[in-house]
Structures are given as C-alpha cells and as structure tokens.
Amino acid sequence: GGLELPRIEVNLFDFQGDLRGRTIKVEWLARLRGERKFDGKDDLIQQLQTDERQARDVVAATPLRD
C-alpha cells in the first residue's frame, strides 16, 4: 500500500445548495473527537447532535478572519 492521506469530515450548517465540482476552502478550528464505531443508529444520531452543538460553539467563539 501507499501513503494514506488523512481525511476529515466537513459539515456545512444552514447551507442550501450544490457544491459538486466546486473548490472550497476549509479552515481547521478544532478537533471535536476521533473516529469511532457506534452501537446503533440512535447512538450515532445522538453523537451527531452533540458534535453539531460543539462545532457551533467553536465557530461562535472564533473571531472572523479575512
């Protein structure tokens, strides 16, 4: 095998549109948690809700930059 590049998951809150084929810039603000497996759909949904709250708090506490 070759060198495996790191991967991140990006969620765009409150966005409606189609970004396929577009280039976007992503700025790293914080790592919320590492990768993990879930026991079921309900556990995954609960974790995603927690992730969203934490992500929104991080964004709200981060000063805007140009």
Per-residue pLDDT 10s for the chain (66 aa) are 688 888 878 889 999 999 999 998 888 899 999 889 999 999 999 999 999 999 999 999 999 876
Cα 31 versus chain centre, distance = 9
> How far is Cα 9 from Cα 61, in angstroms, rounded to an integer?
20
Of 6, 3, 10, residue with least CA distance to 25: 10
Per-residue confidence (pLDDT) for residue 26, from 0 to 100: 87
Per-residue confidence (pLDDT) for residue 15, from 0 to 100: 92
Per-residue confidence (pLDDT) for residue 6, from 0 to 100: 82
pTM of the predicted protein model: 0.74
Per-residue confidence (pLDDT) for residue 64, from 0 to 100: 83
> How far is Cα 36 from Cα 4, in angstroms, rounded to an integer?
18
Q: Can you give the length of the chain in residues?
A: 66
